[in-house]
Structure 1
Amino acid sequence: MNVLVTGGNAGIGYFTAEQLAEAGATVVLGSRSQAKAETAAASIRARVPGAVVHHTPLDLSDLPSLKSSVDGLEPLDAVVFNAGIARDETSRLVSSDGHELMFATNHLGHFALTYWLAPLLTGARIITVGSFAARSERLDLADLQSTEDYDQKRAYGRSKLAQMSFGFELDRRLRAARSNAMSVVVHPGGALDSLTPSRPGVHTRPASTRIAGLLLHGKDDGARPAVHAALDPDVEGGQLWGPRQFGLRGKPHLEKPHAHMTDEQTAKVLWDKSCELTGLDLGEVLGL
């Protein structure tokens, strides 16, 4: 089994890659930093004897670079769209292409990457890692990039909602085209660094609290819905998987997505605008 994990060098992406390697998958870490990817790969190999881990350079905020990121990759059985950024700064920043940075990285980058990966995704599982933050947000289709009244938390939530909306719409289109590929959406729940086990060179566990441990979990457990979506033979396209207990912690379970996440009209507009913003006709390349 061959799996690409975007942002696989740190956080939930790292633990997704580690757990997939434990299951016997060949894992490709998509990362901007070769040094960080090599450190993550060494950590995985130290814990999983015989693990096969590779690296491909990947900067989702730089759309023109993504074509070269897939060069040399083998056909994929699954891809986990995990990479993303959440900014604390209140100022609005843009990518090198002029797109709002979180929207560019979290949504547009994965949308464009799907285009370039298309020849490698026959029969693959395309897994989008969303966020609990998307539950309380709604997309502003007239201002997807938050040019008006910018708020960093809202912009982050909307970027994750855009990812999830895309994941559900992608599966609807794959089903309509009778494709063997499927798109599955997951979220990690409440995953904290303080509850995450240490990995030398990758993550050092800070002080924890018992109260947080009762309500939330670590990033190792937060990775499990994505791993489940990649490996479990009973998973179906269009599903949403997250933690069992209040959507915040626990083993993966099947959830019913909120209506605004699966609204078809919103998703169609988002799809068309994403094609326009990236300059890529994803439907055409996937035969949808």
Structure 2
Amino acid sequence: MSSTSSTPPWDVQQLPRADGSVFLVTGGNAGIGYFVAEQLSATGATVVLGSRNPAKAEVATSSIRSRVPGARVRAVRLDLADLSSLRTAVESVEYLDAVVHNAGVALDAPPRRETGDGHELMFGTNHLGHFALTHWLMPLLSAAPAARIVTMGSFAAKSERLDLDDLQSRKDYRPKRTYGRSKLAQMYFGLELDRRLRAVDSTVASVVVHPGGALDSLTPSRPPVHVRTAGARLCGAPAALLLQGKHAGAWPAVRAVLDPTVRGGQLWGPRVFSLRGKPQRERAWNHLTGTSVAARLWDASRDLTGVGLDTIPG
């Protein structure tokens, strides 16, 4: 369905109902992922929080239930840094209409760290973990009428470029750059995935989003998941001219899950300078349109994870 003049404007405060739908949010126990889960829960859908920490997941589910009467929310243990565990995690999900690939690791300082599989921690978790997870989720998603895979990128990826000869940052490890590149890899993956889904006339769509500039200091409190102190509120006030809280950073992903006018292969982000505001469609960043880079990354990801994702059900 394409957007028409009869389509009402998207209202982040009045989301459409999604009763009967099931959505999985990776990293749904904290940060932007928590707010994605909270907002989706308000639509009547069942929301599954994917989290590697069961205790934190329980705190998040309790918080959502306290704010959303009748919320259908539960948790599943999901550790994207442990590729061998993902198949078992998926077995506890029986039906799925959408997944939001949100979970991520961001390191601020050396030393370089690795997952148990020997991959650089940020690239291995943020990109390779979601690549492998998609493989195991694809049968569920293909069984739904019109499922969506929503990949949460980052504005930090806009200034980065992939080094296909050093995806694991073994030669030159700089944490902030490695993080940006891991998010860029996710975004390449989301777009390449949709091209491959379209090639086989799949009913599944892959959409890429980013949250703009989302700060803790501008995020409303959700104790004990997140507590914003008075000092943080005062210090963050000047930033509100250009940036926003993580509750607003969730809006593009929530729209990508729910809005019937959203299409696979699109990029969505905040309206104001791509940093803050209501979600809108963006033109794909120039470097993200490079299909040869995306294809080479796909092949490398397949080899590194050991999962095919080449046989996509139509």
Give 2:210's aligned residue: 187
3-state secondary structure, aligned to 1:184: strand
Q: Which runs of 5+ in 1 are unaligned?
A: none
Within the alignment, does 1:79 sit opposite 2:106 as a pair? no
Stretch of structure 1 that moved more, 271-280 or 201-210: 201-210
Of the candidates 263, 271, 275, which is equivalent to residue 248 of structure 1?
A: 275
Within the alignment, does 1:264 sit opposite 2:291 as a pair? yes
| Cα deviation digits, residues 144-196 of structure 1 (max 9, x gap) | 11110111111101100000000000001101110000000000000000010
Would the aligned equivalents of 2:213 and 2:275 in 1 still touch at CA under 8 Å?
yes
User: Partners of 2:152 and 2:49 in 1: how far apart?
Assistant: 15
Of the candidates 52, 57, 70, which is equivalent to residue 72 of structure 2?
A: 52
User: Partners of 1:11 and 1:74 in 2: how far apart?
Assistant: 26
Give 1:174's aligned residue: 197
The one-letter amino acid paired with 2:182 is: S
Within the alignment, does 1:156 sit opposite 2:156 as a pair? no
Of the candidates 197, 200, 204, which is equivalent to residue 223 of structure 2?
A: 200
User: Partners of 1:211 and 1:190 in 2: how far apart?
Assistant: 13
The one-letter amino acid paired with 2:237 is: R
Q: What pairs with 1:1-288 in structure 2 (closer than 5 Å)?
A: 1-122=21-142, 123-206=146-229, 207-208=232-233, 209-284=236-311, 286-287=312-313
The one-letter amino acid paired with 1:118 is: M
The one-letter amino acid paired with 2:275 is: L
User: Partners of 2:257 and 2:46 in 1: how far apart?
Assistant: 13
| Cα deviation digits, residues 213-244 of structure 1 (max 9, x gap) | 11110000000000000000100000000000
Would the aligned equivalents of 1:31 and 1:55 in 2 still touch at CA under 8 Å?
yes
User: Partners of 2:30 and 2:193 in 1: how far apart?
Assistant: 27
User: Partners of 2:96 and 2:219 in 1: how far apart?
Assistant: 29
Number of residue pairs matched?
Answer: 287
User: Partners of 1:81 and 1:137 in 2: how far apart?
Assistant: 20
Deviation at 1:210, TM superposition (A): 2.3
The one-letter amino acid paired with 1:281 is: G
Would the aligned equivalents of 2:139 and 2:313 in 1 still touch at CA under 8 Å?
no
Would the aligned equivalents of 2:147 and 2:203 in 1 still touch at CA under 8 Å?
yes
3-state secondary structure, aligned to 2:297: helix
| Cα deviation digits, residues 121-156 of structure 1 (max 9, x gap) | 123100000000111111111111111011111110
Would the aligned equivalents of 2:214 and 2:245 in 1 still touch at CA under 8 Å?
yes
3-state secondary structure, aligned to 2:74: strand
Would the aligned equivalents of 1:169 and 1:262 in 2 still touch at CA under 8 Å?
no
Would the aligned equivalents of 1:4 and 1:79 in 2 still touch at CA under 8 Å?
yes
Deviation at 1:260, TM superposition (A): 1.1
Q: CA RMSD in A?
A: 0.9
Deviation at 1:258, TM superposition (A): 1.0
Deviation at 1:25, TM superposition (A): 1.3
3-state secondary structure, aligned to 1:282: coil
User: Partners of 1:155 and 1:53 in 2: how far apart?
Assistant: 33
3-state secondary structure, aligned to 1:261: helix
Q: Which runs of 5+ in 2 are unaligned?
A: 1-20
The one-letter amino acid paired with 1:196 is: T
User: Partners of 1:72 and 1:82 in 2: how far apart?
Assistant: 19
